[in-house]
Amino acid sequence: MTTVRRFATTAAGVLILAVMLFPLYWMVNASLLPSTELVGSEPAWLPIHATFDGYRNALSSQGGHLLTSLYVSLGTVAVTLLIAVPAAYGLAQLRAAGGRLLVFALLIAQMIPGIVMANALYVAADALHLINSPLALVLADSTLSVPFAVLILHAFMRTVPAEVREAAAIDGASRLRTLVSIILPVSRNAVITAGLFSFLFAWADFLFGVTLTSRDERAPITVGIYRFIGAHMSDWNSVMATGVMASVPVAVLLVVAQRYVAAGITAGSVKD
Partner 1 sequence: MMADITHSQAAPADVRVRPIGKPMGRSAGVRGGRGGTGWAAFGFIAPAWLYVAAFYVYPLAGNVRMSFQDYTVTSFFTGRAPFVGWRNYEAVWRDPAFAKTVVNTVAFTVGSLLFQFGIGLALAVFFQRRFPLGGVLRSLLLVPWLLPLVVSGTAWRWIMETDSGVLNQALMQVHLIDQPIPWLASTSVSLLSVTLVNIWVGIPFNMVILYGGLQGIPVHLYEAAALDGAGAWQRFRHITLPLLRPVTAVVLTLGLIYTLKVFDVIMVLTQGGPANSSQTLTTFAYDLSFQRLTFGHGAVVGNLLIVVAVVFAFVYLRATRDGEGRAAA
Tell which positions 180-239 bind partner 1, by CB under 8 A: 197, 200-201, 203-207, 210-211, 221-222, 225-226, 229, 236, 239
What is residue 181's DSSP assignment? I
Between 64 and 175, CB nearer to partner 1: 175
Which residue type is seen at 225?
I
Q: List the one residue from 34, 47, 64, 99 that touches partner 1 (CB under 8 A).
A: 99
In the chain the first and final C-alpha atoms are separated, in Å, by: 33
Between 77 and 157, CB nearer to partner 1: 157
Binders of partner 1 among residues 52 to 81 (CB under 8 A) are: none
Q: Does position 92 bind partner 1 by CB under 8 A?
A: yes
Rounded to whole angstroms, the Cα distance separating 138 from 150 reads 17
Q: List the one residue from 67, 78, 112, 135 that touches partner 1 (CB under 8 A).
A: 112
Binders of partner 1 among residues 12 to 41 (CB under 8 A) are: 12-14, 16-17, 20-21, 23-24, 26-27, 30, 38-41
Between 26 and 52, CB nearer to partner 1: 26
Q: List the one residue from 87, 136, 168, 219 that touches partner 1 (CB under 8 A).
A: 87
Stretch that binds partner 1, among 46-54, 60-68, 139-147, 184-192 (CB under 8 A): 139-147
Rounded to whole angstroms, the Cα distance separating 255 from 203 reads 17
* Cβ proximity of 47 and 29 under 8 Å: yes
Q: Does position 172 bind partner 1 by CB under 8 A?
A: no
The three-class DSSP label of residue 42 is coil
Q: List the one residue from 50, 78, 82, 128 that touches partner 1 (CB under 8 A).
A: 82
Task: For the beta carbon of residue 73, count every other beta carbon within 10 angstroms.
Answer: 23
Q: Does position 48 bind partner 1 by CB under 8 A?
A: no
Q: Does position 50 bind partner 1 by CB under 8 A?
A: no
Residue 202 CB contacts under 8 Å (≥ 6 apart), including other chains: 69, 72, 73, 75, 76, 77, 138, 141, 142, 144, 145
Pick left, alpha or beta for residue 131 (phi over 0 → left; psi -120 to 50 → alpha; otherwise beta): beta
